[in-house]
Each structure stands twice: as structure tokens, then as C-alpha cells.
Amino acid sequence: RKEVEQDPGPFNVPEGATVAFNCTYSNSASQSFFWYRQDCRKEPKLLMSVYSSGNEDGRFTAQLNRASQYISLLIRDSKLSDSATYLCVVNWDNNDMRFGAGTRLTVKP
Amino acid sequence: DVKVTQSSRYLVKRTGEKVFLECVQDMDHENMFWYRQDPGLGLRLIYFSYDVKMKEKGDIPEGYSVSREKKERFSLILESASTNQTSMYLCASSFLAGIAYNEQFFGPGTRLTVL
């Protein structure tokens, strides 16, 4: 089993659609979870952390399911500017972070 | 704003050459990291450092070494470049925060091609 696994996509959705990505992780001791966004030919940047109770930031909602060891990202009312690759990131121990290979999203007019 | 800079955006080297990739951060972060990113594989950790003169191997350290002589600077060295080291190399830094929230800030990346 891969340490951090994501559906690579691509997800092609129309503007205004709702889209959800899942990510599974294999280390049951992981404590910190994040979603990063990476635009084409750019560096990854933090989109949001994922908290146990779930958290929302505008159109973005992140959920954590510890029992099943997965996290999710929901994007509502997709914008053209949401087109990017979304990376799931899980801490392995202390400062060691493991990255998923990313899910590519394209939002079309 | 945190700034992480890398010495080159694009680099072309020949097999067997020694290659130096430099990374500098301006936020007094304790942690610094070197990753490579390849299609379908995501980011893989090569080496990281918690402090000056300290280094720890990541997942794929073979063929690489690192140097951290100053807190703000973390160098990645390819002792003898090979074609399978053609990749995008990303440097990152973060505060030392244990298992707490520890966002990593990335540099713009260096695309290295080894011919």
C-alpha cells in the first residue's frame, strides 16, 4: 500500500460544479494533515490544514476520517482559478511529511 | 512574507558532473528540506535538516548529499550526476514545531536535466 494515495484524476468539471477528492494514508499514528495546491510549473502552497472535526474555508471543506485513514477535500461552486493539482500531505513523525502524487483538477467554462 | 529562493530555475548538466543546488530562506526557519518531484510519484524527500550542521536522510538519499553551514542556507549536492536524476528539485523550510502545525514553504524549484 502506498503511504499516501490519491486519485490522480484528471477531474474535468464545469464552472459552478462541486468536486471532491479523497486521499488515503497508511500510517495510523499520523497527527497532522494538509491539502496543498500546486499550479502548473509553480511550487506547492498550503491550501488548508485538516482538523479532526472537519473545517471549512469559504468554498473549501476538509474532512478527516481517522478510523478509515482518509482525508477529503470538497470544492463547491468551482471557479476557473481552482484549476490546479491538489496534493494531500500527511505528517509521518514530527517534521517528516509525506506527499501524495496529487489530483489534477481542470475547471472549464 | 516567507521567501525561499533557489539558485537556478533551470539547469542542464552532463553525466558525471558534480552539481550544487542552493536554497536560501529568510524567515529564520529551523527546518529545511530537499525534495524531488517526478510525474506520478509526487514529492519525495531526499534530505532534511533541523539545525545547522545537522542532516537526516529522507526516502531517497542515494546519490545525493547535503550541507547546512548556515541556518538560512541548505545545499543539495549531486556528487556524480546521472540521467535518472533528471527531475524538478524543490527546497522547503518550516518552523520547528514537533507534531503540531508546521506548514512548509517552498522555493520555486530547479528543473535539472542531466544529459
Residue A1, pLDDT score = 63
Tell me: the pLDDT tens digits for B1-38? 669 999 999 999 999 999 999 999 999 999 999 999 99
User: Of A8-22, A91-105, B30-44, B60-74, which range is least confident?
Assistant: A91-105
Amino acid at A102: G
The reply to whether B95 touches chain A by the CB within 8 Å rule is no
Mean of all residue pLDDT scores within chain B: 92
> Taking CA atoms, what residue in B is nearest to A104?
B40
- Band (pLDDT 50/70/90 cuts) for residue B99 is very low
Average confidence score pLDDT of chain A: 92
Proportion of chain B above pLDDT 70, given as a percent: 94
Please say if the pLDDT value at position A67 is more than 60: yes
Residue corresponding to grid cell 526557519: B29
CB neighbours of B40 closer than 8 A, spacing ≥ 6?
Answer: A8, A101
The whole-angstrom distance between residue B54's C-alpha and the CA centroid of its chain comes to 14
Contacts of A32 (CB under 8 A, 6+ apart): A49, A90, A91, B99, B100, B101, B102
- Residue B100 confidence (pLDDT): 47
**Chain CA centroid to CA A13, Å:** 16
Hey, are the CB atoms on A91 and B98 less than 8 Å from each other?
no
**Is a pLDDT exceeding 60 seen at residue B104?**
yes
When scoring B46, B105, B106 by the number of chain A Cβ atoms within 10 A, the one with the most, hence best to mutate, is: B106
Residue in B6, B51, B5, B55 with CA at minimum distance from that of residue B29: B51
Share of chain B above pLDDT 90, in %: 79
pLDDT at A2 over 50: yes
- To the nearest whole Å, the CA of B26 is away from the closest chain A CA by 17
Average pLDDT over residues A57-75: 95
